[in-house]
Amino acid sequence: MHMGLDFGMLEGLSAGMEILRTPSYDAVLRKKWPRLGRIILTLFHYYLVPEVFLLWLFSSVPEGKRWLAANGPAILYSRATKNVSNIAAWFLKRSTGMPWVAHCSDPWVGDPLNGFQRWIARQLEGRVFRDADAVVIVGQKLADHILRLYPWARHKVRIIPHGYAPLAEKPVPVQGAGTRPLHMLQAGSFLPGYREPDKLFEGLAILNARKPLAGRLKATFVGEDTKLYQDLANRLGIAEVVELLSSVPYKQCQQMIATSDLLLVIDTPGAGGIYLPTKLIEYLAHEKPVLALAEPESTIHEVVKECDLAFADQNNPEEIANAMEKLLAQWESGSWSVSEASKEGAARYRIDRLNSALDDLLCRFYGRVAA
């Protein structure tokens, strides 16, 4: 497989898990013919298909059919970090008739797709909801948003949020509050035109004007497209406290989270508050203060209220500045911790607890496979 994979993410998988790896032809194109591949995939991405990863179907579906033919009946479970996973499972469902549970964490139909791409996405997504035996969606707002297109599939939907795996060792409380700068980290990519740091940077500029942040705060942003916003930080006079880094391997990112003091999550504004970022749930394992920038009554807002964590309206730089000022005051006074209510709320998102609902769902179909 020719892909930009982080092989460290394969560590910790169960010894009894069989992994079949097949080529992803979008990555093959980029690897073998970089210039031609970039041109072809750019055309695919912006004009032809709703997801360039659909090219993986040409290798994944035949391999899946071969495995099922050799190993007998199974319950199909597709997890849609990439939507192609559900489409591959749809082909396997159609060819074998085996029970299938599809997972959905993002809507597929909508911006930034053009009309033709949106039509293709609607056809494919509609088939998932029509032919899956059950569909797992990570939040009620997201389910309501998607089901406006497929109201007849509501009886198939189960709400199971993202979950986190507890750390191998209990998190160490943050040390040094009040004796050094507060280190805030945003571990996640920006999406130019959709999820950007402009209002946050404006809020930091407001706070910087009240009292200089240099020597008091270090804000690190790591992920794709972060460096596009260096000029904005420069113009707002906060470049000294803002660090913009490209993506790093997962294990390195987890270490950065573990050694930070304050964790930041930024929602996609104007989307109806439907998203539940996996990084927010992963943050909960570290038992650290979190600042969520989202819209009021969004899914993110509901989670941080449940977990007794800090929140500010992402569209209001003044409110962001006030939230940061309050957090800085707590840090500089030496009182830096998460409440017991926060730990109790976060514990409800442990993956072993959440997956009991998924286990129950899969067990419903076991009789059909075992018969």
Domain coordinates in residue numbering, the chain: 21-163+353-370, 182-347
- Cα→Cα distances 208→185, 283, 300, Å: 18, 27, 27
Work out the percent of the chain whose per-residue pLDDT is above 70.
96
Q: Report strand pairing: 310-313 vs 290-294.
A: parallel
What pLDDT score was predicted for residue 2? 36
Using a 10 angstrom Cβ sphere, with 0-12 exposed, 13-18 middle and 19 or more buried, the burial of residue 76 is: buried
Q: Closest by alpha carbon to 20, among 79, 58, 66, 52? A: 66
Look at 36-50, 61-75, 225-239 and tell me which has the smallest mean pLDDT: 36-50
Contact 338, 263 (CB under 8 A): no
* Helix, strand or coil, per DSSP, at residue 10: helix
Other beta carbons within 10 Å of 349: 20
Is 112 in a helix, a strand, or coil? coil
Q: List the CATH code of the domain at 182-347.
A: 3.40.50.2000
**Listed residue (209, 149, 164, 223) closest to 354, CA to CA:** 164
Separation in Å, CA 347 to CA 131, 206, 239, 260, 303: 34, 35, 37, 21, 12
Report the SS3 class of residue 292.
strand
**21-163+353-370 and 182-347 have identical folds:** yes
Q: Quick one: pLDDT at residue 3?
A: 42
Q: Which residue has the tokens 């040390």?
A: 175
pLDDT in tens, 114-156: 888 889 989 999 999 999 999 999 999 999 999 999 999 999 9
**Which two structure tokens, joined as six digits, stand for 323?**
């939230």
| Distances 199 to 233, 267, 319 between C-alpha atoms, Å | 11, 12, 10
Distance from C-alpha of 357 to C-alpha of 136, rounded to nearest angstrom: 10
Residues 6+ apart with CB under 8 A from 284: 164, 290, 307, 346, 349
pLDDT of 293: 97
CB 15 within 8 A of CB 44: no
How many angstroms separate the Cα of 133 from the Cα of each of 8, 9, 97? Answer: 33, 30, 10
Residue 63 has pLDDT above 90, yes or no: yes
What's the confidence (pLDDT) of residue 1? 31
With residues binned 3-state (H G I as helix, E B as strand, rest as coil), the percentages for the chain, rounded to 5, are 50, 15, 40
Residues 6+ apart with CB under 8 A from 170: none
Counted residue by residue, the chain has a size of 371
**162 or 19, which is more confident:** 162
DSSP labels for 186-223?
EES--BTTTB-SHHHHHHHHHHHHHS--TTTEEEEEES
CATH superfamily entry for domain 21-163+353-370 = Glycogen Phosphorylase B; (3.40.50.2000)
Positive or negative: CA dihedral 319, 323, 324, 326: positive
Q: Give 22's DSSP letter.
A: -
Question: Averaged over 179-187, what is the pLDDT?
Answer: 95
User: Within its chain, how far is the Cα of 167 from the centroid?
Assistant: 19
Distance (Å, whole) CA 171 – CA 346: 13
